[in-house]
Amino acid sequence: MKILIIGSVAAGTSAAAKARRNDESSEIKIYEKDSHISYSACGTPYYIGGSVESIESLTPRNAAFFKSKHNVDVFIRHEVLSVNPTEKIISVKNLDDGNTFTKNYDKLIIATGAKSIIPPIDGIDKNNVFSLRNITSAVIIKNYINANNVKSALIVGSGFIGMELAENFSSTGIETTIVEMKEHLSPKMDSDVSVYIEDYISKKGISFLTGDSVTRFSGGEKAEYAELKSGKKVSAEIFIIAAGVKPEITLASSAGIEIGTTGAIKVNKKMQTNFGDIYACGDCAESYSVITGKPIYHPLGSTANKTGRIAGDQASGGQLEFRGILGTGIFKLFDMTIAQTGLTENEARAEGYDCEVVHNIKPDKPEYAGGKEMMIKAVADRKTQRLLGIQIVGYEGVDKRIDVFATAITFGAKVTDLFHLDLAYAPPFSTTKDPVMYTGMILDNAINGKRKLITPAGLKETASNGKIQIIDSRVSSQYDKAHVEGAENIPHEKLRDCCDKLNKETLTVTYCNKGVTGNAAQNILINKGFKDVRNLSGGHKNYSMSKK
């Protein structure tokens, strides 16, 4: 059996290792056009920022390692030029000596990864405009910064790489500006979540422009400033294109391998392409959503390792099958953590779900134990009560919670199930009702009980379209400092005595700082016979953030 693999980062090397574990007799060869293999691309922003001191720590394995450990031959700087699925032959060029040769295969695994999206911007070829995709590009960027004593940077795009580079640039004293063409930063998140990110990085001294894009890099051999669509000009000493990635499908497409609706290689659950003996995995391959079952493209190292292992298993006679993904992601921004899993509100509504949305602001552990607030936005389907997606912005314990939510969604949990989870509790780690459990309680009350919610966006729309009474249940000093426009201040402890002054037939919205006392006020009014009472999701704190 001859198993050939094209590509040697996360997916390709995982495929090779799994195939070897299944079959000691197969001939397994990997061809890689780059100089590095099995590296951590996700660690490159931290190498540039200095928290990862050595580039070698991101490239712990080389060709000799795979030969000695797995008896797998890895050929670096060998570019596969073509694939002939009919004759089961690939053509390979040795980039060092220029020689070209062919190799036949029984099974072929394509793991060509992804490449940076490079927008067609005039001047993008200037010698201080870079993109970060691999080890080589990371070294070039770091060397340029050091050699030119760079003090200012402009980053185009605010995905994971863009935000991580912004943190690392700023941490090393480089004045940083982000330009994002979408209307808010971190566009994979909902806007009412990204506003927390925008507020935070502003306080950290990072500038950003949203709803704008670069049309030209101006200057001589080096760009001196970026011209924006809005007419603004932003000066910098280094410019980074972080506009995302797209699957590297050139080789596959030219071989007649089917490309899916996402633009990545179409595969089945066995990672097979339309040619039964050709598999695709990693960032070049299409995934599918655990929730909708539809194709999605969400390239991450974790998914690449997983799909590579499945492809290697199937190519060597195994039975592993791909079960889809949720698109779970997480990144660090100074001491803030931002995480997401499943569908956003916008995505869920686009899929036709009748969404219940909550904003749960709770500490990760008691304040006396050093707890800090996290904001959890949860989306659920009212019809099935199934949890659809979670977004979290916080400081400590975000990774723990997002993984619990991801597990729950994967196994089809309903909102009521979250309260019944037996989660670990001790004051250094959690509150007695963990934020995960509390999120389930709020959703359950909203869907199955009378404790309806209204989001800040929903409140603004409703207030502008019809008659509404808004009750601020906080103490007067908090109301005087800031309040929802049109709200009447009736502190919680006085509400029972004031009910007769209110209209029980009019839509009533209650709120407090974060939602708990607002819910208590809501309960009073419901029990007093008010027809429609809704608590403001996330309270005044979430409302005030939505106005920024």
198, pLDDT greater than 80: yes
CB 384 within 8 A of CB 414: yes
Whole-number pLDDT of residue 23: 96
Among 243, 273, 304, the domain-final residue is: 243
Q: Which residues contact 444 (CB under 8 A, 6 or more apart)?
A: 415, 416, 419
42 is catalytic: yes
160, pLDDT greater than 80: yes
Buried b (16+ CB within 10 A) or exposed e, 244-262: bbbbbbebbeebebebbeb
Statement to judge: residues 107 and 255 lie in one domain: yes
**For residue 27, what is the domain's CATH number?**
3.50.50.60
What is the DSSP secondary structure assignment for residue 367, as one 8-state letter?
Answer: G
For 384, the token pair is 């099935």
**For residue 485, what is the domain's CATH number?**
3.40.250.10
Domain that holds residue 274: 2-39+55-113+246-315
- Nearest Cα to 359, choosing from 215, 512, 537? 537
Residues pairing with 362 in the sheet: 374
For 395, the token pair is 């400081």
Among 427, 448, 469, the domain-final residue is: 448
Chain center to CA of 421? 25
Statement to judge: residues 370 and 387 lie in one domain: yes
Tens-digit pLDDT profile for residues 67-94: 999 999 999 999 999 999 999 999 999 9
Among 195, 221, 243, the domain-final residue is: 243
Number of H helices, E strands in the chain: 17, 30
Compute the distance between CA of residue 548 and CA of residue 542 in angstroms, rounded to an integer: 10
Q: State the average pLDDT over residues 182-191.
A: 95
150, pLDDT greater than 70: yes
Exposure of 76 in the CB half-sphere (CA atoms within 13 A): 12
Residues pairing with 332 in the sheet: 337
Q: Is residue 163 part of a domain?
A: yes
Compute the distance between CA of residue 490 and CA of residue 493 in angstroms, rounded to an integer: 8
Identity of the residue numbered 11:
A
Whole-number pLDDT of residue 533: 95
For 325, the token pair is 């993904």
Tens-digit pLDDT profile for residues 451-469: 899 999 999 989 888 789 9
Instruction: Domain count for the chain, please give it.
Output: 4
Compute the distance between CA of residue 41 and CA of residue 164 in angstroms, rounded to an integer: 12
What is the DSSP secondary structure assignment for residue 38, as one 8-state letter?
Answer: S
Tens-digit pLDDT profile for residues 482-526: 999 999 999 999 999 999 999 999 999 999 999 999 999 999 999
Helix (H) or strand (E) holding 165: helix 160-171
In the 3-class helix/strand/coil scheme, how is 492-546 assigned residue by residue? HHHHHHHHHHCCCCCCEEEECCCCHHHHHHHHHHHHCCCCCEEEECCHHHHHHHH
- Nearest Cα to 379, choosing from 369, 389, 370? 389
- Nearest Cα to 251, choosing from 26, 132, 93? 93
116, pLDDT greater than 70: yes
Tens-digit pLDDT profile for residues 224-257: 999 999 999 999 999 999 999 999 999 999 999 9
Whole-number pLDDT of residue 237: 98
Tell me the whole-structure pTM to 2 decimals: 0.93
Compute the distance between CA of residue 255 and CA of residue 265 in angstroms, rounded to an integer: 12
When the pLDDT of each residue in the chain is averaged and rounded to a whole number, the result is: 96
| pLDDT band of 450, cuts 50, 70, 90 | confident
Q: Is residue 430 part of a domain?
A: yes
Reduce the DSSP state of residue 210 to 3 states and report it: strand
Statement to judge: residues 92 and 157 lie in one domain: no
Residues pairing with 121 in the sheet: none
Compute the distance between CA of residue 419 and CA of residue 426 in angstroms, rounded to an integer: 17
Statement to judge: residues 250 and 238 lie in one domain: no
Whole-number pLDDT of residue 465: 81
Statement to judge: residues 135 and 237 lie in one domain: yes
Other C-beta atoms closer than 10 Å to the C-beta of 165 total 26
Q: Is residue 275 part of a domain?
A: yes
Compute the distance between CA of residue 512 and CA of residue 495 in angstroms, rounded to an integer: 13
For 275, the token pair is 């040619």
Helix (H) or strand (E) holding 20: helix 10-22
Statement to judge: residues 497 and 432 lie in one domain: no
Q: Is residue 186 part of a domain?
A: yes
Helix (H) or strand (E) holding 340: strand 336-342
Statement to judge: residues 470 and 436 lie in one domain: no
Question: pLDDT > 70: what percent of the chain?
Answer: 100
Other C-beta atoms closer than 10 Å to the C-beta of 23 total 17
Q: Which residues contact 55 (CB under 8 A, 6 or more apart)?
A: 47, 135, 138, 139
Statement to judge: residues 368 and 347 lie in one domain: yes
Q: Is residue 78 part of a domain?
A: yes
DSSP string, 60-105: ---HHHHHHHH--EEEETEEEEEEETTTTEEEEEETTT--EEEEE-
Whole-number pLDDT of residue 358: 96
What is the DSSP secondary structure assignment for residue 379, as one 8-state letter?
Answer: E
For 421, the token pair is 């989870």
For 507, the token pair is 């839509």
Compute the distance between CA of residue 492 and CA of residue 516 in angstroms, rounded to an integer: 11
Comparing 104 with 42, the larger pLDDT belongs to 104
Whole-number pLDDT of residue 502: 94
DSSP string, 296-326: E----HHHHHHHHHHHHHHHTT-------B-
What is the DSSP secondary structure assignment for residue 283, as one 8-state letter?
Answer: G
449's torsion region: left (phi>0), alpha (psi -120 to 50) or beta?
Answer: beta
Q: Is residue 18 part of a domain?
A: yes
For 38, the token pair is 């099995």
- The catalytic position among 42, 281, 284, 355 is 42
| pLDDT band of 548, cuts 50, 70, 90 | low
- Nearest Cα to 168, choosing from 240, 109, 106? 240
Q: Is residue 48 part of a domain?
A: no
Compute the distance between CA of residue 212 and CA of residue 217 in angstroms, rounded to an integer: 14
| pLDDT band of 373, cuts 50, 70, 90 | very high
Statement to judge: residues 23 and 109 lie in one domain: yes
547, pLDDT greater than 80: no
In the 3-class helix/strand/coil scheme, how is 223-236 assigned residue by residue? EEEEEECCCCEEEC
Whole-number pLDDT of residue 390: 98
Statement to judge: residues 211 and 262 lie in one domain: no
Rg (CA), the chain: 27
Other C-beta atoms closer than 10 Å to the C-beta of 294 total 11
Q: Is residue 124 part of a domain?
A: no
Statement to judge: residues 227 and 143 lie in one domain: yes
Statement to judge: residues 431 and 340 lie in one domain: yes
